[in-house]
Structure 1
């Protein structure tokens, strides 16, 4: 009986996918990926997600849109999520956040996409202010 109530509550809190025109930034996009990762990211690969985010950042630059963006900045500038992740994992890396999370997931036997969203939630929960795109 309790399981049925929990399932009903989970169904109520689960939101529906949104149209692209309803999204207001990269974190809205990432919430859509969280909702349906298999639809957005081939093989649920963080390498593919990283490539998508790079394309997102390039589009911001092409269209001269200043949006907070914590995943990539040109010219070796600050990459807040990557830097935070290295501190969080207690190691330095030049391989990028996607590779490091995939390695961590393999070590722990967990899905990398799930681990990415756990790290992302932790990163965002640390009173973190997104950085403007350059």
Structure 2
């Protein structure tokens, strides 16, 4: 593994080996891991943009992308897992496709 510079580098490592990083490839477990990452940023006073808080930029983008008129109380991970189940697709795969769309829209 190379040195990670930010949360997106970490997510690229997860993309390459989701089974190694995330138990049962659950987006809810990924969300928990990212919450821990965010807490570590706060504890250590590290200045880094973090888009994955419950009401953060990724969530706001996702609600619009999924056609939701209000933020989900369940969070982005549950909503992507629901959408993946309806589409009969792996949730982790759908997350990374949406992450790529989010980053392209933000650019």
Identify the TM-score tier after normalising by the shorter chain.
Answer: over 0.9
Larger Rg: 1
Instruction: Find the counterpart in structure 2 of residue 15 from structure 1.
Output: none
Quote the Cα distance in structure 1 between the aligned partners of 2:56 and 2:7. Answer: 15
Q: Which has the higher contact order (CA 8 A, sep 6+)?
A: 1
Instruction: Find the counterpart in structure 2 of residue 28 from structure 1.
Output: 9
Instruction: Find the counterpart in structure 2 of residue 105 from structure 1.
Output: 84
Instruction: Find the counterpart in structure 2 of residue 95 from structure 1.
Output: 74
What are structure 2's unaligned runs of at least 5 residues? Answer: none
Give how far 1:58 is off.
Answer: 0.2
Quote the Cα distance in structure 1 between the aligned partners of 2:88 and 2:94. Answer: 10
Give how far 1:94 is off.
Answer: 1.8
Runs of 4+ in 1 over 3 A off after TM superposition: none
TM-score normalised by L of structure 2? 0.94
The correspondence for 1:57, drawn from 8, 13, 38, is 38
Number of positions where the alignment pairs a residue of Structure 1 with one of Structure 2: 105
